[in-house]
Structure 1
Amino acid sequence: MLSIQNLYKQFGNLIAVNDLSLEVNKGETVVLMGPSGCGKSTTIRTINRLVEPDRGTIYFGGIDITALPPDELRAVRKRIGFVFQHFNLISRLTALENVMLGLVMSGVPREAAQEKAREALRKVGLENHQHHKPGEMSGGQQQRVGIARALAYEPELMLWDEPTASLDPILVREVLVVMEELARYRASTMLVVTHELSFALHVADRIVLMDKGRIVEEGPPAKVFANPESHIGQQYKQLIEYQLHTGAQTLAGKRIA
């Protein structure tokens, strides 16, 4: 499905991605994790060339994305959904109009685009909000519109760049529920950049840990977080143990009270 080989990207003196290679299989949910600035977002942005790699190859369905001219790249991008940190919705348009806009602009007949947009909104639980404008929705609902916009193309690959990063903690769960449902039904292959440990533990087929532009460890969540080999993996294990410990203390305190 997706094969990244020897990817390298440098910004000035900063090496953001350093000789990274990664394979993602069809139907797989792979989660990229690591400290801020380790190259996670840069990596997934090179896949559809929102960021141009300095060198390396990226094969998607047997096609070398790095070698495509603009017209062919636009065609391939329609097969790759991308959900950003920020919602990037047009404030004067309704949820339905925001979702169908890209379809119409790419040549899909208006009625067909409208039907695809309605179905995408249904998948994210917003069928009753299709006529609401962004200002009339919560941040979580706006992000779900952004997800629906990506889903409307029925993509083979979904890229997620920290989709909950711009949300208040109380709104994070509603977006994670949508992501978990999509992963569960295997509607598309998913490559997710996130700091959400609960999502990674419950949904990921594979965790890929990055540090300083390189992959330092990868494997099933149970292996990576239970018996980590890397320093980053050990830090995540300690964080999980701390959260479990403090959660147990909180529950015990409530029982005593």
Structure 2
Amino acid sequence: MLEIQHLKKHFGKVTAVEDVSLQVAAGETVVLMGPSGCGKSTTIRTVNRLIEADGGSVLFCGRNILHMNDEELRQVRKKIGFVFQQFNLISRLTAEENVMLGLIMDGMPRELAKEKAREALRKVGMESHATHKSGEMSGGQQQRVGIARALAFEPELMLWDEPTASLDPILVREVLVVMEELAKYRSSAMLVVTHEIPFALHVADRIVLMEEGKIREEGIPSEVFVRPVSDIGKKYKELIEYQTNTNTLTLAGKRIA
């Protein structure tokens, strides 16, 4: 479904992404991890050209997004949902109206857009807050509305750029639960940038570790986090072992170390 080939991005003299290649199959959940500043967010934002790449290709269903004109890009973006770090809700609109807005702007009749918005809010457990404005919702609830906004287009691919980064720790779990449920039903492929190790362990089909703009290692969680071959993988293993020893991390109710 998604194939990134030899992707490159530079900001002035700084190399953000260097020769990154990865694939995401239909229905697959791939988690992209690594230290801050390693190029994770830059990589994911090139997929729908929120950031323009300097080289390489991004193939979505066989078509190179980087070569599309404005209208072609607009059409393909309907099939790619994007959840940001910030909620980006319009404060004067209700949750339902925020979810409907993109559909209506795309030409969908208002009643159909309302129906799809309600269904998307139901999927994230926010149907009872449909008439609430952002000031009447917690950060976790606002992010769930942001997720519903992406889901309303029924995308084939969901991109998540550290969706819990702006949340207080106590609110993180409610967003992760929604993400886990979406991954379970596999209605969309998912490429997730996150620092949340428990989420990666429970949900990822494959984990990709980045460092200094390059992919250092990838594989299933039990390989990458238990028998890593890269330096960054070994650092994650040490972190998991430390957390496990302090009774903070389990996998399917069992210790993994």
TM-score past 0.5 threshold: yes
Residue aligning to 2:4: 4
1:246 shift after superposition: 1.2
- Partner SS state of residue 37, structure 2: coil
- Partner SS state of residue 98, structure 1: helix
Residue aligning to 1:148: 148
Distance 2:95 2:120 in 1: 11
1:164 shift after superposition: 0.1
Distance 1:106 1:16 in 2: 33
Distance 1:221 1:121 in 2: 31
Residue aligning to 2:212: 212
Q: Does 1:60 align with 2:60?
A: yes
- Give the TM-score normalised by structure 1: 0.96
Letter in 2 for 1:77: R
1:247 shift after superposition: 1.7
Letter in 2 for 1:224: V
- Partner SS state of residue 149, structure 1: helix
Deviations 1:55-75 (A, max 9, x none): 111100011101000011000
Distance 2:107 2:222 in 1: 45
Residue aligning to 1:179: 179
Residue aligning to 1:88: 88
Letter in 2 for 1:24: V
- Partner SS state of residue 195, structure 1: coil
| Aligned residue pair count | 248
Q: Does 1:112 align with 2:133?
A: no
Distance 2:246 2:5 in 1: 41
Residue aligning to 1:222: 222
Deviations 1:120-157 (A, max 9, x none): 00000001000000000000000000000000000000
Letter in 1 for 2:129: H
1:13 shift after superposition: 1.1
Residue aligning to 1:37: 37
- Partner SS state of residue 226, structure 1: coil
Alignment of 1:126-145 (within 5 A): 126-145=126-145
1:187 shift after superposition: 1.2
Q: Which runs of 5+ in 1 are unaligned?
A: 249-257
Distance 1:217 1:62 in 2: 25
Provide the identity percentage: 73
Residue aligning to 2:21: 21
Residue aligning to 2:194: 194
Letter in 2 for 1:18: E
Q: Which runs of 5+ in 2 are unaligned?
A: 249-257
- Provide the alpha-carbon RMSD of the alignment: 0.6
Distance 2:94 2:26 in 1: 33
The structure that is helix-richer by fraction is 1
1:23 shift after superposition: 1.1
1:88 shift after superposition: 0.2
Stretches of 4+ moved more than 6 A in 1?
none
